[in-house]
A and B are shown apart, each in its own frame.
Chain A
Amino acid sequence: SQQGEEDPQALSIQEGENATMNCSYKTSINNLQWYRQNSGRGLVHLILIRSNEREKHSGRLRVTLDTSKKSSSLLITASRAADTASYFCATDRSGFQKLVFGTGTRLLVSP
C-alpha cells in the first residue's frame, strides 16, 4: 500500500508567507526525501533527511522528521511565486531499494 500521505492536499498562500507541508508514513524508514514537481515537468530533489536526523536546512527549506510519529514536515520560508509547484515526500523502507512517494501537496503562491 502507499507509504506516504501528505497534508494538506492543496495550499494557497501569498508571497512572503511561510508554507508548511506534512507527510505521514506507515513503516520504519532509512531516509525521507522531498521532491518538487513544477507543472508539466519531472520531479526535482530538494532535500534528504536520514532516520537518525531530526531537522535539516537547505536555503529557505527546513525539514523535520519525527520517527516516533512517523511524520515529516517541509517548511518553505518567505515563499515566492516561483515556489508554486507540487511537493512530494518519498521514503525508502529498510531493506527495500525503492522510493515510495506520497500523494503530494499542491502549493500555489500568489504574488
Chain B
Amino acid sequence: DTAVSQTPKYLVTQMGNDKSIKCEQNLGHDTMYWYKQDSKKFLKIMFSYNNKELIINETVPNRFSPKSPDKAHLNLHINSLELGDSAVYFCASSQDPGTGREQYFGPGTRLTVT
C-alpha cells in the first residue's frame, strides 16, 4: 500500500565512498523529485524528473547523479561522499509537474557520512 517508498532508510558510510538511494512510487504519477533536508530542517529541491526526463537540476554538485529507469522509479547516486552530504534525502512524486499539484513524500533516507 506504500505510495512512495525509499531504500535504505538509514545509510552510514565513510567519506569518499559511492552510494545509491532508490525510490519507487506506485501512484501512477508522471513526476518525481529528490529533496535534501539539512540538520536545521531546511528542505530544498535537488532534482525533478517528468516521465523519465530531467526538468529541474538545482545547482547540485555533479557528484549527485539521478537516474530514472522508468516513470515509477527515481534513484540517486552519490559519488565521492563528503561530510556535508550528511542529511535526510526525500523522494516525492506528483501527478504532473504543473503548479498546484500536491506532492507525496517518501519516508526519507538518513545519510550519515563519517
Contacts and interface: CB of A to CB of B under 8 A. Distances in A.
Given A42-B105, A88-B43, A98-B45, A48 B100 contact: yes
Contacts of B4: 42
A79 interface: no
Residue of A50, A94, A99 most packed against chain B (CB within 10 A)? A99
Nearest to B6: A42
B103 A45 contact: yes
Interface residues of A, number: 26
Interface residues of B, number: 24
A97 B55 contact: yes
Contacts of B55: 97
Interface of B is mostly: loop
B66 interface: no
Interface of A is mostly: strand
Given A42-B107, A94-B99, 13 more contacts: A35-B105, A41-B107, A42-B108, A43-B92, A45-B102, A45-B103, A88-B43, A92-B100, A98-B45, A99-B45, A101-B42, A104-B41, A104-B43
Interface of B: 4, 40-45, 48, 55-56, 58, 90, 92, 97-100, 102-108
Please provide the 7 A-B residue pairs with the shortest distance between their CB atoms, ordered closest to farther: A42-B105, A45-B102, A101-B43, A30-B99, A92-B99, A43-B105, A97-B97
Interface of A: 2, 30-31, 33, 35, 37, 40-45, 48, 50, 86, 88, 92, 94, 96-101, 103-104
